[in-house]
Amino acid sequence: MGKKVLITGGTGLIGKRLTQMLLEKGYEVAFLSRKKATIPSVQVFEWDISKGYIEEGALDNVHFLVHLAGTNVGEGRWTEERKKDILASRTESIKLIAKKLAHAPNKPVAFASASGISYYGQDTGDQKNTESTPAGHDFLSHVSVEWEKAADEIAALGIRTVKLRTGIVISKEGGAIPKIALPARFGVGAPLGSGKQWISWIHLDDMCKMYIEALENENWQGAYNAVAAPPVTNEGLTKAICKVLHRPQWFPNVPAFALKLVFGEMSAVVLGGNYVINERIERETGFQYQYGELEAALKAELV
């Protein structure tokens, strides 16, 4: 067998595709899961974060570690209880692994953790955000900051650590794009809110390639903006989706107040936006995007 990669959140959108790509490259893949499950070609270990439990053997001979676990931000209203879960599911999980690894005789060579471009704030307008831009001060920013602090507990063990601040992932399998595209398929596509909010995006395959590169390339370290370039406005994305689907876009914008009525505080996810620049990817790495153009990325997933 190849080198072992242990993944948290392996059954999510990114985790599934990443697993497939790792297996194709000859890696051995294992998941940490709240429930025992049978997944072809993957060894599944149980864990219970609230009880501080990780099944014996899960951390043995792990060469690479990937942290993708986290409650979906875009599903369900942000009650105070849900907000606590959104944060804890990302932070307490990796803190538990760090605690266990501190006493392990053999530690992973590298660790790659998800983070979010919401690190800079839920809505930063036309501000150009690079990896050196300070963090924002709202809820999602707080989540990303604490997420990265938790990842630093792995780095403190001497394990090379990479944090990928992820934009909107373009995939037909899940995430925001199928939901945004659904009205357009029926000829009623419309921008959300002002339509001027920036959307920084990346195709699913490029996202997974980035994780693999972060694990394999010893020069990768610290935080990177995991987005393609350039970003697009919400209105521009709607137009591009309608073009790819050969559908008209003639409906007026969905007003912000209507979205707030339906989604409450969570409406910030679609009403806010960030102009994020992949500065470190471009300047410091030789990473090659398979889908560097928005239209090509959308065609690959929607047509």
CA-CA distances (angstroms) from residue 128 to 102, 237, 268? 38, 19, 19
DSSP state of 173: S
> Residue 77's pLDDT band (boundaries 50, 70, 90)?
confident
Query: What is the arithmetic mean of pLDDT over 12-25?
Result: 97
C-alpha 78/C-alpha 71 separation (Å) is 11
- β-strand partners of 280: none
On the question of pLDDT at 294 being above 80, the answer is yes
Task: Give me the residue label for tokens 């007003």.
Answer: 255
On the question of pLDDT at 217 being above 70, the answer is yes
The yes or no reply on domain 4-170+201-227 and CATH 3.30.70.520 is no
Tell me what pLDDT residue 189 has.
79
Look at residues 31, 34, 63, 29 and name the one whose alpha carbon lies nearest to residue 44. Answer: 31
C-alpha 298/C-alpha 303 separation (Å) is 8
On the question of pLDDT at 262 being above 60, the answer is no
- β-strand partners of 160: 110
Using one digit for the tens of pLDDT, what is the confidence trace for 171-181? 999 888 888 88
Tell me what pLDDT residue 172 has.
94
On the question of pLDDT at 34 being above 70, the answer is yes
> Residue 268's pLDDT band (boundaries 50, 70, 90)?
low
% helix / strand / coil in the chain, to the nearest 5?
40, 20, 40
Query: What is the arithmetic mean of pLDDT over 49-54?
Result: 95
- Would you kindly state where each structural domain of the chain is located, as residue ranges? 4-170+201-227
> Residue 298's pLDDT band (boundaries 50, 70, 90)?
very high
Range name among 55-69, 85-99, 229-243, 265-279 with the lowest pLDDT average: 265-279
C-alpha 179/C-alpha 234 separation (Å) is 13
Task: Tell me whether strands 42-48 and 160-166 are parallel, antiparallel or unpaired.
Answer: unpaired
Range name among 23-32, 68-77, 200-209, 212-221 with the lowest pLDDT average: 68-77
Tell me what pLDDT residue 266 has.
56
Residue 183 CA to its chain's centroid (Å): 24
C-alpha 232/C-alpha 195 separation (Å) is 10
- Using N-to-C axis directions, what is the helix angle for 234-245 and 176-185, rounded to 10°? 60
On the question of pLDDT at 45 being above 80, the answer is yes
From the CA atom positions of the chain, what is the Rg in Å? 19
Tokens, residue 237: 């994305």
Query: What is the arithmetic mean of pLDDT over 213-220?
Result: 98
